[in-house]
Chains A and B, each alone.
Chain A
Amino acid sequence: MQKTAMQYETSKQRAVNEMTALVAATDTSAPAVDALPERILVALDASPHSLAALRAAAKLAATVHAELHGLFIEDDRLLRLCDSPFAREVGLLTAAVRPLDSTAVERKLRVMAGELRYALARAAAEVQVQWSFHVRRGAIERELLQESADALLLSLGRTSWLARRGLGATANALIRQTMRPLLLLGDREELSYPLTLIYTASPSAERALALAIRLTQQAGQPLHVIVVAPSADAAAWQERLSIMLRHNEIPGVFTVLEAEPNESSPTIATRLALIEAIQKRSAILPMEYSSLMAELQGAVLLVP
């Protein structure tokens, strides 16, 4: 059921005008690449995961010449909790129980913000991109959604918790609600080229394709495409994608996975096949495959 093909040229001879028309038609169905905002937002919380997200965001910002914006959110739940009469903090290192003092918490938050600002400045300086750093107070998911509304993408750690695998509550909430692409990384993961795109021909897949072209074209790298298509459409879709990539001067490496793509979540067989095909490579997924996020290792970019 799985077929791999590597094509840099179409097998069929089509007229140049037909190809041009096809590309134009594809462009209208997808968001205009040039119109994308030139800002990459990275959510920072001092966890190793968020620092990995910072490195990946800086790399992408350098590739697409975008600005790098760091955001640190002071959790208002925590600050409100400080006023509770029974609130006690258990130290992570020593397990000592101590009163949750709002002054001390605010001071620690300021210290964290200072350290994160420094880390952002260093990461931006390494790749020579412009950067800014902001601190907001409020609910973490809400603030991130607001701030990322006009960003090219939002980069964040899989979790701020101890685990390396799986997704944290914030990541899960954002996956459900975000309107912008989400880049998720674990603490030892990094974004690496070539990127692997899962293409299903859905609207979010088309947006993922546009973003993949944008990120790959300027990096001067080939693009791996896993085409999840019914057997009847697979060849045509691949042909179309091939033309598009060639038009954008991107070498394409195609893998065809014959499956029904238009499902809200992939079947177990498709999931396993995709995980095996992607392995630890950096992947771009359409929104309908968001359930794969928790299982994939490596950087994953989810496009709504």
Chain B
Amino acid sequence: MLPLPPLDPTTLYHRCDPTALGFTTTDELAEFRHFIGQDRAIHAIQFGIGMTRQGYNIYALGPSGMGKHTFVQRFVEEQAAQEPAPSDWCYVNNFAQPYRPLALRLPAGRGKQLRDDVSHLIDDLQSSLASAFESEEYQTRRQALEMELQEQQQGRLNALQEQARERNLTLIRTPGGLVFAPFKDGNVLEPEQFNALPEEEQERMKAEVEVLQEQLQKVLYQMPKLERDIRTRLRELNQEISSFVLSELMDDLQKKYSDLPDVLAFLQAVQQDVGTHLTDFLGAKAKAAESAEDEQPLPLPNGASSSPFLRRYSVNLLVDASDQSGAPVIYESNPTYLNLVGRVEQMATMGALITDFSLIKPGVLHRANGGYVIIDADKVLTNPYAWDGLKRALEFRELRIESPMQMMSLTTTVSLEPEPIPLDVKIVLIGDRRLYYLLSQYDPDFNELFKVAADFGDELVRNNETEALYARVIATVAKDEALHPFDSSAVARIIEHSSRMVSDGERLSTRLQSIVDLMEEADYWAIKAGETVVRAAHIAQAIDGQIYRSDRIRERMQEEILRKTILIDTDGSKVGQINGLSVVQMGNYAYGQPSRITVNIHMGNGAVVNIEREVEMSGPIHSKGVLILTSLLRSRYATERPLSLSASIVFEQSYGGIDGDSASSTELYALLSAIANVPIKQGLAVTGSVNQHGEVQAIGGVNEKIEGFFDLCKQRGLTGDQGVLIPIANVKHLMLRQDVVDAVTAGQFAIYPVATIEQGIALLTGMPAGALQEDGHYPEGTVNYRVVQRLEELSKKRAALEEWAKGNEKNAENSHAI
């Protein structure tokens, strides 16, 4: 079997040919404002927008930074522009139940008209009614009524006084009433004078006083009725005057809004209320004028400056669509509960908080009713009660304004219960995938309300066509962001970097934000260099800058390896010791780091101990990898006899957790080395998982891992014997740094594409793995032969040991019997 050749340098980096792009700079390219490679998401959003059934709201899921927001907004706005403008909504006073304001729906633009019309109506009514009630006709009729009352009251009392006088009695006022007194010559009789009168005269006067008292009682009883009668007639007079004025002013408005029955009902209610509250209505103007004269130390809330009484007739224009063309599209950046469903504000008056329908404020759902709302999923979920409020509105398709305290039934104070408004809105939530799956799993309402998932892919296939489109996207961004033009080499470098971002030479990243960041930074470096065109060198400078700003930890780790604080060999050979490779993720930056893996074996019962697992530092996938390699060991070498060894595997100097199965092949190599007692070349590092049949499988982060080991070797000096074994399935993912490619080209470093364990162990030990022959044995001088020999040796020793132990047990039993 020939030794596995290293990869050709051309396979290490999937280059983009600038000349093939067909332009000099991005100035020559046409704009491209569509998403590439997002057909699935586009289909989903088109479907979601077109579907008018309940619950077909959209969740746009995908990683952040790929321009989902821009895309969704643009797409929805295009659709909304073709739809009709929404209705205006107003809240008006419910005169029968003031705590339940009424909602009025009007065609777009007519809400503002109604508000202004009613405001003018109230002004006109005040003036007209005041004039009418100050008119000579009204005053004369009113005074006549008052005079009639006085004359009737006075006349009856005067008549009584006259009767009394004829009987030598007079009527005297007391602090609490009236009293009849005997009267003679203009003076009230003293008690002595009265007693001096003949007894008959006294009795006569007493009797007459009693009669007069009864008559006085009747007169006084009748007085409230008289006043009531006059008040009724006065009310009728007021009603007559006000009806005349009101009907005259209302006629035009009623004709104007004759097509809107709810508005007509409201106008009718206003007319009735003004008629029944004339005193307050006319008094309000004077009070408003007085309060306007008082200097207000602080500005009052909107509407508070007008008379509190007159506010009852105002129209609270909640949604004004007069300037709206097409359906509204609103992005709510702060989706709190109150910002979503609206609120009822309160204002401090005389030390108390009061409210009314004029203080109802709309939420974004009101303003977007009949259109679209775009919300960030994480924000709506992290704002207390916002998610519940949104769901309830969507579920019942109506907007009910309640404070959170009311919603939670934590307060029972008197407040408003505005009439709910029918809701017809499409919600587009934007969030990451994890949130989508969590909601989908744990919130039963979510799947009912957000039936459309627009799944944005984070990568797309790289080919000539997509590269050309990518270039146009780059050109569009350069124009939008006012960047210098990018030449073809810079665009090619960006495309290559895009592949590197997704760790796949045959794919491109859709995370447009990262590309925009890279372009802006490259533009910065071009300006610093005094150039007017951004070139590949500036892109490289920007990438290097990004890495340099982030790789302090990587550099420290590298230093510690070089200083031999962390022990990693990069030359020589050792038994049971191998260089594994891991990836460390630090925020948005990932780097590869070599780790020493060692294996010890001894006679035992076939157990392979994963020391990381023993101390709970091993993740489940890593533990699974170790179990797979144990199984592989048993199936390959212990089919005829028990596996009479035990082994322990450990990641040396690992103080954090280990997870992933990318080290399982590495661990297997170290185990085979330890069993066969064959040393492994320390100049090589290994990554790749292994299955039960010994096939090496793909892993993630291949580029970072290779570069991590390369950097260490380079620091120590490249020997030409160093390299990395990677799964052959990862070759297509290679997008290695230029210095790595250069070293490989110069023969100073090698990348080996490994398909099987046999290929890997041969490379690592320099000894062929050895294929199983027809006689069931491996050829001598191979690793497998040495493994089998060692296992047989251990097995025999173990059998002898067990025999000896059994003999001892028997002797002991016999001794006991004796």
Q: Interface on A for B, CB 8 Å cutoff?
A: 46, 75, 77-78, 80-81, 83-92, 95, 97, 100, 105, 108-109, 111-112, 160-166
Given A80-B191, A89-B174, A89-B176, verify A95-B217 contact (CB < 8 Å).
yes
Cross-chain contact A163 with B150 (CB below 8 angstroms): yes
Chain B: minimal CB distance from A75 (Å): 7
B213 in the interface, Cβ–Cβ < 8 Å?
yes
Task: Note all chain A residues with C-beta closer than 8 A to B147.
Answer: 165
Which residues on A sit within 8 Å (CB–CB) of B191?
80, 83-85
A81, A105, A111, A161: most-surrounded residue (chain B CB, <10 A): A81
Complex: A112 Cα to B206 Cα, angstroms: 30
Contact of B194 among A84, A105, A109, A160 (CB under 8 A): A84
Of listed B146, B182, B220, residue having the most chain A CB within 10 A: B220
The CA-CA distance from A60 to B221 in the complex, in Å, is 40
Q: Who on chain B is nearest to A81 by CB?
A: B181
Q: What is the CB-to-nearest-CB distance from A228 to chain B, in angstroms, rounded to a whole number?
A: 28
A80 contacts B179, CB within 8 Å? no
Interface set of B (CB-CB < 8 Å, partner A): 146-147, 150, 153-154, 157, 172-182, 187-188, 190-191, 194, 205-206, 209, 213, 216-217, 220-221
A and B contact pairs by CB, cutoff 8 A, 10 listed = A75-B173, A77-B181, A77-B188, A80-B191, A84-B191, A88-B209, A90-B178, A95-B220, A108-B175, A161-B157
Contact B176 A108 (CB under 8 A): yes
Evaluate contact between A86 and B220: CB separation under 8 angstroms: no
Q: Are B174 and A105 neighbours in the complex by a CB distance under 8 Å?
A: yes
Distance of A105 Cα from B172 Cα, bound (Å): 13
Q: Which 5 pairs from chain A and chain B are nearest by CB?
A: A108-B175, A95-B220, A77-B188, A163-B154, A91-B177
Task: Evaluate contact between A87 and B179: CB separation under 8 angstroms.
Answer: yes
Q: Which residues of B contact A162 (CB under 8 A)?
A: 150, 153-154, 157
Asked if residues B181 and A84 are in contact (CB atoms below 8 Å), the reply is: yes
A80–B190 touching, CB < 8 Å: yes
Question: Which residues in B have their C-beta under 8 angstroms from that of A100?
Answer: 174, 179
Contact B179 A95 (CB under 8 A): no
Report the minimum CB–CB distance from B190 to chain A (whole Å): 6
B153 partner residues in chain A, CB cutoff 8 A: 162-163
Q: Is the CB of B205 within 8 A of A86?
A: yes
Interface contact A97-B213, CB-CB below 8 Å? yes
Q: Which B residues are CB-close (under 8 A) to A88?
A: 179-180, 209, 213
Residues A75 and B172 in contact, CB atoms below 8 Å apart: yes
Bound Cα distance from A75 to B157, whole angstroms: 20
B174 / chain A contacts, CB cutoff of 8 Å: 78, 89, 100, 105, 108
What is the CA–CA distance of A78 and B172 in the complex, to the nearest angstrom? 7
CB closest residue in chain B, given A163: B154
Partner of A89, one of B150, B157, B179: B179
CB-based nearest A residue for B182 = A84
The closest CB in chain B to the CB of A111 belongs to B175
Cβ–Cβ < 8 Å partners of A111 in chain B: 175
Interchain CA distance A85-B195 in the complex, whole Å:
9
Given contacts A161-B154, A161-B173, 8 further A-B contacts (CB under 8 A): A80-B188, A80-B190, A89-B178, A91-B177, A108-B175, A111-B175, A165-B147, A165-B150
- B203 (CB) vs chain A CBs: closest residue: A86
- Whether A92 touches B179, Cβ cut-off 8 Å, given contacts A75-B172, A80-B191, A164-B150, is no
In the complex, are the beta carbons of B181 and A87 less than 8 A apart?
A: yes
B residues within 8 A CB of A109? Answer: 175
> Do A97 and B157 form a contact, CB below 8 Å, given A80-B191, A87-B181, A165-B147?
no
A109 CA to B175 CA in the complex, in Å?
7
B432 CB to nearest chain A CB (Å): 73
| Complex alpha-carbon distance, A48 and B403, angstroms | 51
- Interchain nearest-CB distance for B122 vs A (Å): 29
Decide if A112 touches B157 in the complex (CB within 8 Å): no
- Given A77-B188, A80-B191, check contact A91 B175 (CB 8 Å): no
In angstroms, Cα B216 to Cα A92, docked, is 10
Nearest opposing residue in chain B for A165, CB measure: B150
Select which of B188, B213, B220 is within 8 A of A81 by beta carbon. B188
Complex Cα spacing A78 to B171, Å: 10
Residues of B with C-beta under 8 A to A84: 181-182, 191, 194
Q: Closest CB of chain A to B222's CB: distance in Å?
A: 9
Question: Is there an interface contact between B173 and A160, defined as CB atoms closer than 8 Å?
Answer: yes
Q: What residues of B have a CB within 8 angstroms of the CB of A81 in the complex?
A: 172, 179, 181, 188
CA distance A165 to B172 in the complex (A): 19
Residue of B nearest to A139 (CB): B187
Q: What residues of chain B lie closer than 8 Å to A165, measured between beta carbons?
A: 147, 150
CB distance B221 to A95 under 8 Å?
Answer: yes
Given A81-B179, A95-B220, A109-B175: A90 touches B150 (CB 8 Å cut-off): no
Task: Write the chain A residue with the least CB distance to B219.
Answer: A95
Minimum CB–CB distance from B195 to chain A (whole Å) comes to 8
**Bound form: Cα–Cα A171–B302 in Å:** 55
Evaluate contact between A89 and B177: CB separation under 8 angstroms: yes
Q: Which residue of B lies closest to A109 (CB)?
A: B175
Given contacts A80-B188, A108-B176, A162-B153, contact A90 B216 (CB under 8 A): yes
Chain A residues positioned under 8 Å from B205 (CB to CB): 86
Set of chain A residues within 8 Å of B188, measured between Cβ atoms: 77, 80-81
Complex CA–CA separation, A46 to B173 (angstroms)? 12
Shortest distance from the beta carbon of A189 to any chain B beta carbon, whole Å: 14
A284 CB to closest chain B CB, in angstroms? 25
Complex: chain A residue closest to B221, CB-CB? A95
Name the residue among A77, A89, A90, A162 with the largest chain B CB count within 10 angstroms: A90
A89 to chain B, nearest CB (A): 5
Q: How far is the CA of A111 from the CA of B174 in the complex (A)?
A: 13
A109 to B174, CA, bound (A): 9
**Can you name the residue of chain A whose Cβ is closest to the Cβ of B190?**
A80
Complex-state Cα separation, A83 to B157, whole angstroms: 25
CB of B504 to closest CB in A, whole Å? 92
Q: Which residue of B lies closest to A84 (CB)?
A: B191
Q: B150, B174, B206: which has the most chain A beta carbons within 10 Å?
A: B174
- Minimum CB–CB distance from B216 to chain A (whole Å) comes to 5
Chain A contacts for B194, CB-based, 8 A = 84
The closest CB in chain A to the CB of B206 belongs to A86
Distance (whole angstroms) from the CB of A172 to the closest CB of chain B: 13
Q: How far is the CB of A254 from chain B (nearest CB, A)?
A: 28
- Minimum Cβ distance to chain B for residue A279 (Å): 13
The interface residues of chain A lying within 8 Å CB-to-CB of B176 are 89, 91-92, 108
Smallest beta-carbon distance B267→chain A, Å: 37
On whether the beta carbons of A105 and B181 are closer than 8 Å, the reply is no
Chain B: which residue is nearest A168 at the CB level?
Answer: B173
CB-nearest residue of chain A relative to B216? Answer: A90
A92 to B179, CA, bound (A): 10
* Distance of B35 from chain A, by nearest CB (Å): 79
The complex places the Cα of A24 from the Cα of B287 at a distance, in Å, of 52
- In the bound complex, residues from chain A placing their C-beta under 8 Å from that of B146 are 164
Contact assessment for B179 and A78 in the assembled complex, using a CB-CB cutoff below 8 Å: yes
Tell whether, in the assembled complex, residue A112 and residue B190 are in contact, meaning their CB atoms are under 8 Å apart. Answer: no
Instruction: Report A-chain residues with C-beta under 8 Å of the C-beta of B221.
Output: 95
B595 to chain A, nearest CB (A): 95
Measured between beta carbons, the chain A residues less than 8 angstroms from B209 are: 86, 88
Measured in the bound complex, the distance between the Cα atoms of B158 and A165 in whole Å is 13
A89 to B217, CA, bound (A): 10
Chain B contacts for A166, CB-based, 8 A? 154
The answer for the CA separation of A92 and B171 in the assembled complex, in Å, is: 13
Q: How far is the CA of A87 from the CA of B171 in the complex (A)?
A: 11
User: Which B residues lie within 8 Å of A80 (CB)?
Assistant: 188, 190-191
Distance in angstroms between the alpha carbons of A100 and B178 in the assembled complex? 10
Closest to B174 in A: A89
Give A92 to B219 CA distance when docked, in angstroms.
Answer: 10
CA of A97 to CA of B211, assembled, Å: 12
How many Å lie between the Cα of A88 and that of B182 in the bound state? 12
CB of B397, distance to nearest CB on chain A (Å): 60
| Nearest Cβ on chain A to B159's Cβ, whole angstroms | 14
